[in-house]
Chains A and B, each alone.
Chain A
Amino acid sequence: MTPNTIDKDRPTSDWMAELSRRFPVEREVDRVLRRKLEMRAGPPFSGAGLDRLVAGVEALIAARHKSPFSIVDPHWLTGGASKLQMAFTLEWTPPGGSPSRTKLVLRMEPAASVCETSRLREHQMLAMFEGVVPVPTAYWVDPAGEFLPYPALVYGFSEGVTKPSHSVSNVTGLGTNLGPDLRERLAPHFLSQLATIHSARVDAPGLTAFDRPDTPTRSAEWALNWWERVWEEDAGEDVPLMRLAAGWMRGNLPENDRLSIVHADFRTGNFLFDEKDARITAWLDWELAHIGDRHEDLAWTMSPAFGHYAEEGGAFLTCGLLPEADFLDRYEIASGLSVNHATLRFYRVLAAYKAIAIVLGAGFRNARNGKSHQDVLLVWLMGLAYPLLDELRSRLEEVI
Chain B
Amino acid sequence: MECVNVKELLSDYIDDTLDQETRETVEKHLSTCEGCAEELASLRSLVEELGSLEKVKPPADFLNQLHERLDAPSGFTKIVRKLFVPFHVKIPLELATATLLAVLVFSVFHTQFAEKQMMQAPLEQKTMESNEIGAIKKKEVSLKKRPSKPKATFEALSRIEKGGEMDVSKPDEGIHKPMELTLLLKKRGRERVMRKPMALGDTRTAERESTADEEKPYPASAGATAEPYFTEQLKHLIEKEGGKVLSVEYDSKTGLPSTIQAEIPANCYQTLYDQLKDIASSLESAPLSPQEGQAILPLKLKLRYSE
Q: Are A and B subunits of one complex?
A: no
